[in-house]
Amino acid sequence: MARGLLFDSTLCIGCRQCEQACSEGKNLPYDDKIAAEERTSAHKLTAVRTHGERFSRKLCMHCLDPACASVCPVAALQKTAAGPVVYLPERCMGCRYCMVSCPFGVPTYEWHSRLPYVRKCDFCQDRVAKNEPSRCAEACPTGATITGDRDELIAEARRRLAEKPDEYYPRIYGIEEAGGTSVLILSAVPFEQIGYPVNVEKTALPQYTWAALKHIPDVVVMGTVLLGGIHWLTHRKEEVARKEGRP
């Protein structure tokens, strides 16, 4: 069964232990300066963001049908059956199409590295594959982040909405966004108020990718014909010029 992550922002206290656990697990630096950065980057794969008295988290949403994987020409990004969208650096050629295609603005780039790679949360794929909680979920002291089977997490989120309707905005973020994501979010307020984009297409974005790519053969054929015509005209002019004795 595909795994998922449920972040309940009503339970988040902004302690940032999820950030620290993630950084330590990925051998990334973490100090007070990095903790104060409320954005993801090549050295910070998840970020707690402050919205007055409320908090949210930014991390890879691990789309069910990820746009980043669909646009990658070398399959450096792949969706696994277990749930995580993983990155294979040995395949990456640095085109950064994934960064442009992600509707959540997640993948980042090691701009200052001599041998740069794309960086993003991999949902602790080494742990999730063994049905263990992600590092961020294990570190969370309030249960604001939990992991488990995605369908069971959806059922749990719906149970919370039904039991405490006055404490939650009545929707689960991630069920429909970009065709569905492995990360699900609950909030006390509309999601845009805690930093989540709400204009994301409900259709899985790779459908748009394939709609564009299916026309590539036509473009190639037409381009070949056009270039062939230009080539013929150019050489025809040269031939006529030679026969007329012109340079």
168 and 230 share one domain: no
Question: Does residue 148 fall inside a structural domain?
Answer: yes
User: What is residue 208's predicted lDDT score, i.e. its pLDDT?
Assistant: 60
174 and 237 share one domain: no
Please give the Cα distance from 66 to 178 (Å, whole number).
8
184 and 239 share one domain: no
CA separation, residue 132 to residues 82, 184, 241 (Å): 12, 18, 76
Q: What is the CATH number of the domain that holds 167?
A: 3.30.70.20
Between CA 169 and CA 179, with CA 175 as vertex, the angle to 5 degrees is 135
pLDDT category of residue 217 using cuts at 50, 70 and 90 = low
**pLDDT at residue 15 tops 60:** yes
Four-CA torsion 132, 134, 140, 144, nearest 10 degrees: -100
The three-state secondary structure class of 108 is: strand
Question: Does residue 209 fall inside a structural domain?
Answer: no
**pLDDT at residue 225 tops 50:** no
Question: Does residue 160 fall inside a structural domain?
Answer: yes
Q: Are 154 and 129 in contact (CB under 8 A)?
A: no
The answer to whether the predicted template modeling score (pTM) of the entire model surpasses 0.75 is: yes
187 and 117 share one domain: yes
Pick the range with the lowest mean pLDDT from 110-114, 115-119, 158-162, 224-228. 224-228
Please give the mean pLDDT across all residues of the chain: 88
Question: Does residue 210 fall inside a structural domain?
Answer: no
**pLDDT at residue 232 tops 50:** no
Q: Are 14 and 55 in contact (CB under 8 A)?
A: yes
pLDDT category of residue 129 using cuts at 50, 70 and 90 = confident
User: What is residue 53's predicted lDDT score, i.e. its pLDDT?
Assistant: 95
Question: Does residue 54 fall inside a structural domain?
Answer: yes
113 and 176 share one domain: yes
pLDDT average, residue stretch 12-17: 98
pLDDT average, residue stretch 152-179: 97
33 and 60 share one domain: yes
- Of residues 177 and 223, the one with the higher pLDDT is 177
Pick the range with the lowest mean pLDDT from 51-60, 103-112, 175-184, 202-211. 202-211
**pLDDT at residue 141 tops 50:** yes
169 and 234 share one domain: no
54 and 128 share one domain: yes
Q: What would the two tokens of residue 168 be?
A: 């939650």
99 and 60 share one domain: yes
Structural domain total, the chain: 2
**pLDDT at residue 236 tops 70:** no
Q: What is the extent of the structural domain holding 12?
A: 3-204
N residues, the chain? 247
User: What is residue 9's predicted lDDT score, i.e. its pLDDT?
Assistant: 98
Other C-beta atoms closer than 10 Å to the C-beta of 60 total: 25
86 and 187 share one domain: yes
